[in-house]
Amino acid sequence: MGMIVFTDDFDLPKAHPVKFQRTTLQDAMLINVDRFEDERGHFARTFCREEFAEQGLETEYVQANHSGNIARGTLRGLHMQREPHGEVKLVRCVKGAIWDVIVDMRPGSQTYRSWEGFELSEENSRLLYVPAGFAHGFLTLADNTDVIYQVSHAYTPQAEVGVRYNDPVLGIDWPDEARVVSAKDASWPLLPT
């Protein structure tokens, strides 16, 4: 089998910037990336410290987590950590697809207790920037779905809190039935009305 040789590479910093899109929730961002495709496959830059800093976003991440999910309909969340352990999350689905939901749980925010959902998938390569003080969770839309997310603060078990995924106060419109839910996630307390 012969070897293919490429003589011209592309200029990543200029040709493939990270594109930030504001959401309806204060301080949260949907991030679109350009995928460069050629005979080798594809390449995309998913993080640039300089570009994130220009947007006023977190640029330091201390952990990266990988969530492997066997079945469609697996629900994880809605999780967050109390201050001073609040964490910014940068979430990406690298295999399969998810419906990713964030809820603004910051009492002083203009969008307090509001939620928004986004489809993240290996096809669209989008990332979701989840600010500290937001509850976060996702529902898998395909079997064998993998999600990778970076966090700005180390996991602190005693600071973990959650919001019930089907809390009637929030009224989250999940696109599919949650068929696999942990006992912990199914028993988070309901929000006061």
DSSP string, 33-58: EPEEEETTEEEE----HHHHHHTT--
Tell me which of 16, 61, 66, 79 is the catalytic residue: 79
Q: How many residues does the chain have?
A: 193
Q: Decide if 149 is catalytic.
A: yes
Identify whether the C-beta of residue 156 lies closer than 8 Å to the C-beta of residue 79: no
Q: Decide if 155 is catalytic.
A: no
Tell me which of 42, 66, 112, 149 is the catalytic residue: 149
Cα 8 from Cα 16, distance rounded (Å): 16
Phi, psi of 166, deg, nearest 5: -115, 30
**Buried/exposed 79-94: b ≥16 CB within 10 Å, e otherwise:** bbbeeebbbbbbbbbe
Catalytic residues: 79, 149
